[in-house]
Amino acid sequence: MTSQPVLQIAHLWKRYGLPPWPWQKTTPTYALEDISFELYPGETLGIIGVNGSGKSTLLKVIAGITAITQGEVKLLKPLFSMIELNAGIHGDLTGRENVRLLGAIMGLSRRDLLQVMPHIEAFCELGEWFDRPVRQYSSGMLVRLGFAVSIHVAAEILLMDEVLAVGDIGFQNKCLTQLENHRRQMGSILFVSHNMQRVRRICDRVLLLHHGKQVFLGPTEEAIHAYDGLLRQRGHHANTWANLPGIVLQEIQFYQDGETLCTPLQQGENLTLIFILTLETPLQQCNIQVALENGDALSVVWESMELDALPAGIHTFRVEWHNLLLKSGHYHVRLGINIGQFSSKGFRVNNAIGLEVTGNPHAMGLYQPLSSFTCQSQPLA
């Protein structure tokens, strides 16, 4: 980065509670340990990690909500934080009055407020609720109001902590578009989320936290790959849900060239999945489903088999994938059986078995099909 940073964090430590007495032998517990990074104009820095890793604590320290224990936070540009849904919003005031309050706190003049008020009212799409007390708002309406204010006040740095987890899809996409516009105008964003697809869409770099420590800081895809590794270290266990008694998953395994797959699958190789189900009672009109899901529980590959009947007994199912061009990362298998005319759910096994795929770690998207990407050029007339 050649420009000057708008935010500098240097060797930040945060501990809650009183320090131990000198004669106590307990080791102090820190919520944040030795965090250092910089945020630059026009950059979106994602902050990811499992629950309890210190993401929200870090934003609260930067916003000045909680004091630091040790280190330095140097804020060089105006900041607006959206850490809690109702942060800075007074429940007895209307939406319009809260906009005036937040604008005044951010240093907007009366003239500036009059100019931005119609834009804020139009963006949050609250209609007549804009002039009603905020205590009557739903959580989604609070997000609409808070986000509309955040992108129209003169703040060059936005702090966002999972605020887009609330609200309908249309409004979420509208907010993401506004965040991208904020970046183009050289605004900066600190973005905390568990949604890796959103992180991929808007983040230039990502900071990965784990138990309050800075594990990784760098390109988005590499950070998400490291995050997947942390999730795998925590372990995953098969989770079975059954509406039908007497169905048991006896065995499930990946094979390659007739042998058990013991190493990560290379992108583009063939793969076979074999699983054995035991049925104590027969099933009628059943649909057997196999899904390969990524870390966000998105079904990247889906297979299904319609059967008029499945008798009692031991059944071995085999799925063969040829030239499986999955993106590099960790996947798991979800099995399911739907039954009856209306395909009601009867049996589910989540995280039945995991699969590691290696390939280009910088590739985007969910799947890498065989494709060609060409360009034909001709001079201007």
Note whether 262 and 160 are same-domain residues: no
- Give yes or no for a contact between 313 and 279, defined as CB atoms under 8 angstroms apart: yes
The stretch 260-281 carries a mean pLDDT of 89
The stretch 182-192 carries a mean pLDDT of 90
Note whether 179 and 277 are same-domain residues: no
Note whether 42 and 149 are same-domain residues: yes
Q: Which of 214, 233, 252 is the last residue of a domain?
A: 233
Note whether 312 and 248 are same-domain residues: yes
Q: Looking at the domain assignment, is residue 365 inside a domain? A: no
Note whether 211 and 96 are same-domain residues: yes
Note whether 250 and 106 are same-domain residues: no
The per-residue pLDDT for range 240-263, each reduced to its tens digit, is 776 777 888 999 999 988 788 877
Q: Looking at the domain assignment, is residue 371 inside a domain? A: no
Residue-level pLDDT at 9: 94
Q: Looking at the domain assignment, is residue 363 inside a domain? A: no
Residue-level pLDDT at 238: 61
Q: Which of 233, 261, 291 is the last residue of a domain?
A: 233
Note whether 195 and 307 are same-domain residues: no
Work out the mean pLDDT of the chain and round it to a whole number.
85
DSSP secondary structure, 131-189, as one string: GSBGGG--HHHHHHHHHHHHTTSS-SEEEEESGGGSS-HHHHHHHHHHHHHHHHTT-EE
Q: Is the pLDDT of residue 48 over 90?
A: yes
Instruction: Give the Cα separation of 37 and 173 in Å (integer).
Output: 29
| CATH number of residue 275's parent domain | 2.70.50.60
Q: Is the pLDDT of residue 14 over 80?
A: yes
The stretch 152-165 carries a mean pLDDT of 79
* 281: amino acid identity, one letter: T
Q: Looking at the domain assignment, is residue 214 inside a domain? A: yes
Note whether 191 and 337 are same-domain residues: no
The per-residue pLDDT for range 202-229, each reduced to its tens digit, is 899 999 999 999 999 999 888 988 888 7
| CATH number of residue 187's parent domain | 3.40.50.300
The count of domains in the chain is: 2
Residue-level pLDDT at 339: 84
- Give yes or no for a contact between 32 and 212, defined as CB atoms under 8 angstroms apart: yes
Of 35 and 83, more confident: 35
Note whether 249 and 298 are same-domain residues: yes
Angle between helical axes of 110-124 and 95-105 (0-180°, round to 10): 130
Residue-level pLDDT at 235: 56
Q: Looking at the domain assignment, is residue 262 inside a domain? A: yes
Note whether 323 and 262 are same-domain residues: yes
Within the chain, residue ranges assigned H as helices are 55-63, 95-105, 110-124, 139-150, 169-184, 196-202, 220-233
Q: Which of 182, 210, 233 is the last residue of a domain?
A: 233
Q: Which tokens go with 93?
A: 């005031």
| Domain of residue 62, residue span | 7-233
Residue-level pLDDT at 172: 80
Q: Looking at the domain assignment, is residue 63 inside a domain? A: yes
Instruction: Give the Cα separation of 103 and 362 in Å (integer).
Output: 41
The stretch 126-154 carries a mean pLDDT of 85
Note whether 114 and 218 are same-domain residues: yes
Q: Is the pLDDT of residue 285 over 80?
A: yes
Q: Looking at the domain assignment, is residue 80 inside a domain? A: yes
Note whether 110 and 204 are same-domain residues: yes
The stretch 80-94 carries a mean pLDDT of 78
